[in-house]
Structure 1
Amino acid sequence: MKDTKYPFHEFFAGSGLVSCGLSSAFRSVWANDISERKAKVYRANLDASILHIGDISEVSGGELPPAVLSWASFPCQDLSLAGNIDGIYSKRSGLVWQWMRIIDEAGDKAPSVICLENVSGLVSAHGGEDYRHLHKALTERGYMVGAVLINADLFVPQSRPRVFVIGTKGPIPSSLRGIRPSWAHSNALAKLGESIADFIWWDLPRPPARSIALEDIVEDDIPFDKDRTTLLIPERHRVKFRESGSIYATGYRRTRNGRQVLELRCDGTAGCLRTPAGGSSRQFLVRRDGEEMHARLLTVREVARLMGAPDDFELPGTYNDGYFAMGDAVAVPVAKYLAENVLFQLVEAANGLE
Structure 2
Amino acid sequence: MESAPIRAAEFFAGIGLVRTALERVKGAQIEVAWANDIKQAKYDAYAANYPDAFDHFKVRDIREVEAADLPTGIELATSSFPCIDLSLAGNRRGLVGEQSGMFWEFARILEGMSPRPSVVLLENVQGFATSHKGKDLEDAMRRLSEFGYSLDVLAIDARHFVPQSRPRMFIIGIQKDRLPTHARAEVPPTSDTRPAWVQAIHAKHRATLSMHYINLPSLPEGPQDLEGFVEADVNPGLWWNDDRVDAFVKSLSEIQKARFEALLTADSITHRTAYRRTRQGVSVWELRKDGIAGCLRTTGGGSSKQALVRVGKGSKAIRWMTPREYANLMGAHDYKLLAGTPNQQLFGFGDAVVVDVIEWIGNNYLLPVLRPDSVTSAG
Measured against the shorter chain, the TM-score band is over 0.9
Task: Describe the shift of the 1:211–1:82 C-alpha distance in structure 2 as closer, same or farther (beyond 3 A).
Answer: closer
1:77–1:93: 8 Å Cα contact kept in structure 2? yes
1:57 Cα offset (Å)? 1.0
- Report the Cα distance in structure 2 between the residues aligned to 1:32 and 1:211, rounded to whole angstroms: 33
**Partner in structure 1 of residue 293 of structure 2:** 270
**Partner in structure 1 of residue 340 of structure 2:** 317
- Report the Cα distance in structure 1 between the residues aligned to 2:103 and 2:311, rounded to whole angstroms: 44
Q: Does 1:60 align with 2:66?
A: yes
Residue identity opposite 1:214 in structure 2: L
1:291 Cα offset (Å)? 4.4
**Partner in structure 1 of residue 168 of structure 2:** 162
Q: Which of 268, 284, 289 is matched with 1:261 structurally?
A: 284
2:38–2:61: 8 Å Cα contact kept in structure 1? yes
1:183 Cα offset (Å)? 1.4
**Partner in structure 2 of residue 42 of structure 1:** 46
2:224–2:291: 8 Å Cα contact kept in structure 1? no
SS of residue in 1 equivalent to 2:227: helix
1:243 Cα offset (Å)? 4.8
Give the TM-score normalised by structure 1: 0.93
Post-superposition Cα deviations, 1:151-172, rounded to whole Å, max 9, x if no partner, equal 1111000011111100101343
- Report the Cα distance in structure 2 between the residues aligned to 1:3 and 1:315, rounded to whole angstroms: 34
SS of residue in 2 equivalent to 1:217: coil
2:165–2:293: 8 Å Cα contact kept in structure 1? yes
Residue identity opposite 2:278 in structure 1: T
Give the TM-score normalised by structure 2: 0.87
1:104 Cα offset (Å)? 1.2
**Partner in structure 2 of residue 201 of structure 1:** 213
- Report the Cα distance in structure 2 between the residues aligned to 1:50 and 1:212, rounded to whole angstroms: 39
**Partner in structure 1 of residue 95 of structure 2:** 88
Q: Which of 357, 364, 368 is matched with 1:334 structurally?
A: 357
SS of residue in 2 equivalent to 1:274: coil
Q: Which has the larger radius of gyration?
A: 2
Q: Does 1:235 align with 2:258?
A: no
1:230–1:293: 8 Å Cα contact kept in structure 2? no
**Which segment drifts farther, 58-67 or 10-19?**
58-67
Residue identity opposite 2:49 in structure 1: N
Q: Share of identical aligned residues, percent? A: 39
- Report the Cα distance in structure 1 between the residues aligned to 2:107 and 2:85, rounded to whole angstroms: 18
Q: Which of 108, 124, 138 is matched with 1:101 structurally?
A: 108
1:3 Cα offset (Å)? 6.5
2:249–2:257: 8 Å Cα contact kept in structure 1? no
Post-superposition Cα deviations, 1:247-292, rounded to whole Å, max 9, x if no partner, equal 1110110001221111111311100001111122110001113344
**Partner in structure 2 of residue 128 of structure 1:** 134
- Report the Cα distance in structure 2 between the residues aligned to 1:319 and 1:242, rounded to whole angstroms: 32
Q: Does 1:142 align with 2:148?
A: yes
1:7–1:69: 8 Å Cα contact kept in structure 2? yes
In structure 1, the gaps of 5 or more residues are none
**Which segment drifts farther, 243-252 or 3-12?**
243-252
Q: Does 1:119 align with 2:91?
A: no
**Partner in structure 2 of residue 282 of structure 1:** 305
Residue identity opposite 1:145 in structure 2: L
SS of residue in 2 equivalent to 1:190: helix
Post-superposition Cα deviations, 1:180-209, rounded to whole Å, max 9, x if no partner, equal 332112333222221112432342211333
1:140 Cα offset (Å)? 1.0
- Report the Cα distance in structure 1 between the residues aligned to 2:351 and 2:319, rounded to whole angstroms: 21
- Report the Cα distance in structure 2 between the residues aligned to 1:152 and 1:71, rounded to whole angstroms: 18
SS of residue in 1 equivalent to 2:33: strand
2:10–2:32: 8 Å Cα contact kept in structure 1? yes
2:324–2:337: 8 Å Cα contact kept in structure 1? no
**Which segment drifts farther, 216-225 or 67-76?**
216-225
1:127 Cα offset (Å)? 1.9
Any runs of at least 4 consecutive aligned residues in structure 1 with deviations exceeding 4 A, and if so which? Answer: 241-246
1:54 Cα offset (Å)? 0.7
**Partner in structure 2 of residue 74 of structure 1:** 81
**Partner in structure 2 of residue 172 of structure 1:** 179
1:211 Cα offset (Å)? 4.5
Count of aligned residue pairs for this structure pair: 351
- Report the Cα distance in structure 2 between the residues aligned to 1:210 and 1:174, rounded to whole angstroms: 31
SS of residue in 2 equivalent to 1:52: strand
2:9–2:77: 8 Å Cα contact kept in structure 1? yes
- Report the Cα distance in structure 2 between the residues aligned to 1:300 and 1:93, rounded to whole angstroms: 26
- Report the Cα distance in structure 1 between the residues aligned to 2:69 and 2:223, rounded to whole angstroms: 43
1:118–1:163: 8 Å Cα contact kept in structure 2? yes
Task: Describe the shift of the 1:127–1:209 C-alpha distance in structure 2 as closer, same or farther (beyond 3 A).
Answer: same
SS of residue in 2 equivalent to 1:199: coil
SS of residue in 1 equivalent to 2:298: coil
2:160–2:223: 8 Å Cα contact kept in structure 1? no
In structure 2, the gaps of 5 or more residues are none
1:59 Cα offset (Å)? 0.9
**Which segment drifts farther, 157-166 or 229-238?**
229-238
